[in-house]
Amino acid sequence: MSQRITLPKTDLSVHPLCLGGNVFGWSANEEESFAVLDAYAAASGNFIDTADVYSEWKPGNLGGESERIIGNWMKSRGNRAEMVIATKVAKLSTRAGLSAANIRAAADDSLSRLQTDYIDLYYAHEDDTTMPLTQTLEAFNALVVDGKVRYLGASNYSAARLREAIHISQTYGWAQYVGLQNQYNLLDRKEFESDLAPALSALGISALPYYGLARGFLSGKYSAGSTVDSVRAGGVVDYQNDRGYAAIARLQELSAAHNAPMAAIALAWLRGQAAVSTPIASARTVDQLKEIVQVVELSTAEIESLSAITA
């Protein structure tokens, strides 16, 4: 598979793995984060996803830690022009929601932390039903017109609201959402495939799913009865069942057949879905990065064999 794809309705040419920045400033300090970012860049990686809220949840953090680390890294490496940076607004407690004033202020905050004058892909991190969509979308469009943002995306939107938002933007001639970042993986499929995938197809835009490895479960490190030392271990309980372990067994077979990590196989399944352009996955260490950055191409039969297990 080519090491670059172009996101639909953009001129953004990106690596087939988008590196999630949620761990930077949370479970990975700046030095550890720099090592992961260096390894990703060395593997031709150029697409990094973060958010202003990362990682406000860690005791002592205020939010913006991930953006700040990424900004420091790009400045120290002198590589901003080579990177495609995505970040988000709406969930940080001190910059909550999608009012016009908050979008403007949050974007400026993110630009400052990232030490850049433009954001390649700026997401509404969640839908804000307390604000008229026209206000939100006009504010996002103004950022594009001003050159602070190149493209817009939506995260955690329903299909109905995504359609409505794009219709409004088309009506007014505003910049439109070009991608959707919602949860989707081999084990979390029903909502996305029944509702969102048809909408994305109709709209001609793509998904950039998060939790592509089901919070790490699909990496294979959570075997039956095992205990894993991870800040995210509690999030995999819902996957530790017969269905989840059947998927793991098939991933192990394909891992051996392709001589590739199980995580790379799980991400390859995602890339094999028509609605998906680039999955997002994060790495706390360089070893974890090596598991996810390898781009594997599965056959149609291999993809279908995985799909059948978790249908």
Looking from the CA of 111 toward its CB, the CA atoms found within 13 Å total 16
Helices (H), the chain: 30-42, 65-77, 100-114, 133-145, 159-172, 190-191, 197-203, 242-258, 262-271, 286-293, 300-310
Question: Which phi-psi region, left, alpha or beta, contains residue 153 (left: φ > 0; alpha: ψ -120 to 50)?
Answer: beta
Q: According to the model, what pLDDT value does residue 93 have?
A: 98
Give the C-alpha separation, 11 to 13, whole Å: 6
Q: According to the model, what pLDDT value does residue 1 have?
A: 46
Tokens of 162: 């995504």
Residue 230 confidence class, pLDDT cut points 50, 70, 90: low
Instruction: Decide: helix, strand or coil at residue 183.
Output: strand
Residue 3 confidence class, pLDDT cut points 50, 70, 90: confident
In the predicted model, what is the mean pLDDT of residues 290-296? Answer: 96
State phi, psi for 154 to the nearest 5 degrees.
Answer: -120, 145
Give the C-alpha separation, 107 to 87, whole Å: 9
Give the C-alpha separation, 90 to 97, whole Å: 4
Largest CA distance in the chain: 55
Q: Over the stretch 271-288, which tens digit does the pLDDT of each residue have?
A: 999 999 999 999 999 999
Residue 222 confidence class, pLDDT cut points 50, 70, 90: confident
CATH code of the domain containing 281:
3.20.20.100
Residue 54 among the catalytic residues = yes
**Cβ–Cβ under 8 Å, residues 24 and 65:** yes
Q: Over the stretch 159-191, which tens digit does the pLDDT of each residue have?
A: 999 999 999 999 999 999 999 999 999 999 999
Count: domains in the chain: 1
Q: According to the model, what pLDDT value does residue 180 have?
A: 98
How many percent of the chain have pLDDT more than 90? 94
Which range of residues forms the domain containing residue 116?
A: 5-310
Residue 128 confidence class, pLDDT cut points 50, 70, 90: very high
Identify the H or E element spanning 302: helix 300-310
In the predicted model, what is the mean pLDDT of residues 227-235? Answer: 58
Q: According to the model, what pLDDT value does residue 247 have?
A: 97
Looking from the CA of 228 toward its CB, the CA atoms found within 13 Å total 18
Q: Is the backbone peptide bond immediately before 55 cis, with ω within 30 degrees of 0? A: yes
Give the C-alpha separation, 70 to 50, whole Å: 9
Tokens of 236: 């995999």
Give the C-alpha separation, 100 to 115, whole Å: 23
Instruction: Decide: helix, strand or coil at residue 67.
Output: helix
Catalytic position from the list 54, 123, 177, 184: 54
How much is the pTM? Answer: 0.95
Cα–Cα nearest to 292, from 50, 54, 83, 39: 39
Which of 2-6, 99-103, 222-226, 269-273 shows the lowest mean pLDDT across its residues? 222-226
